[in-house]
Amino acid sequence: MSASPDLSALSVGDEVARTEHLITRDSLVRYAGASGDFNPIHYRDDVAEFVGLPGVLAHGMLTMGVAVQSVVDWAGNPARIVDYQVRFTRPVVVNRNDGATLSIVAKAAVVEPEERRVRVDVVATVQGQTVLGKAQAWVSFA
């Protein structure tokens, strides 16, 4: 287990992570294989467009997982994430050539030094538009 961040120096509003992650069509194929989710809206433009989507979409759970990884990295151990919830607000359209860049900013929203836990709010955007709403991870250092 990695060392814990210094909670005594952490304040509400402090940024704990900032990162970008490129999601490509290759990412979607790998995720589909790992998850078993082979819905063609995640890899076929014609099917996505036929059902009224703007294009091939990233899997929601892939987006959710990529977004929390920065919090995991900050916390030092994935077992420290004791609760994580999001609302999917906008699909992530993955361009055939350029992919989609997911930008993540994570900030301390609730700091409870006595309980050795922190709620981290995650903002995930693509091209300046929020794709996850109310993304919150509780991190326990107890």
Cβ atoms of 137 and 84 within 8 Å: the answer is yes
Domain boundaries, the chain: 7-23+59-140
Per-residue pLDDT reduced to its tens digit, 14-59:
999 999 999 999 999 999 999 999 999 999 999 999 999 999 999 9
Q: Retrieve residue 44's tokens.
A: 């076929």
Per-residue pLDDT reduced to its tens digit, 129-138:
999 999 999 9
d(CA 111, CA 113): 6
Q: Is the pTM of this model over 0.85?
A: yes
In this prediction, what percent of the chain has a pLDDT beyond 70?
Answer: 99
Fold of 7-23+59-140: Thiol Ester Dehydrase; Chain A (3.10.129)
The pLDDT value recorded for residue 5 is: 85
d(CA 72, CA 87): 19
The pLDDT value recorded for residue 90 is: 96
Torsion of CA 72, 26, 127, 125, to 10 degrees: -20
